[in-house]
Amino acid sequence: DIQVTQSPSSLSASVGDRVTITCRASQHIANYLNWYQQKPGKAPKLLIFASSRFYGAVPSRFSATGSGTDFTLTITNLHPEDFATYYCQQSFNTLLTFGQGTRLEIK
C-alpha cells in the first residue's frame, strides 16, 4: 500500500495567521493527491483534488501544490471557520489511503 504521512498532526494558530500542512507519500504518486476538511460531527468535505485543483467554492486563501511524493496545503489569513481537521488522500492506484489528519486549533 502507498502510505501518506501528514505533518504536523496538530497545529495551533490564530485568526489571520498563515499555516502549511504537509503530506508525504511513500512512493511517487504524480499529482494524485486530494485534500479534505472535516469539522466535528460532520462528514469530510473535498477541498482540493489532483494536488492543486479546487473543488467547488473553496476560498482563495486556500492553496495547494506538490507532485511526486511531497505535497502542501496552505491557508493564509485564517478565518474562524477554517479551524478543523484536514486529511490528505492518495488516489494513485485503487488502494486508496488517507493521511492521519492534521488538527488545526485556535491558539
Partner 1 sequence: QLQLQESGPGLVKPSETLSLTCAVSGGSFSSGTSYWGWIRQPPGKGLEWIGSLHHSGSTYNTPSLKSRVTIFVDTSKNLFSLNLTSVTAADTAVYFCARQHSAYDRFFDSWGQGTLVIVSS
Positions in the binding site for partner 1 (CB under 8 A): 1, 32, 34, 36, 38, 42-46, 49-50, 55, 87, 89, 91, 94-101
- The C-alpha atoms of residue 3 and residue 90 are separated, in whole angstroms, by 8
Placement of cell 485503487 in the chain: 94
CB of 73 to partner 1, least distance (A): 14
CB of 14 to partner 1, least distance (A): 25
- The C-alpha atoms of residue 1 and residue 8 are separated, in whole angstroms, by 22
CA 15 to chain CA centroid, nearest Å = 18
CB of 52 to partner 1, least distance (A): 13
Nearer to partner 1 (CB atom), residue 1 or residue 105: 1
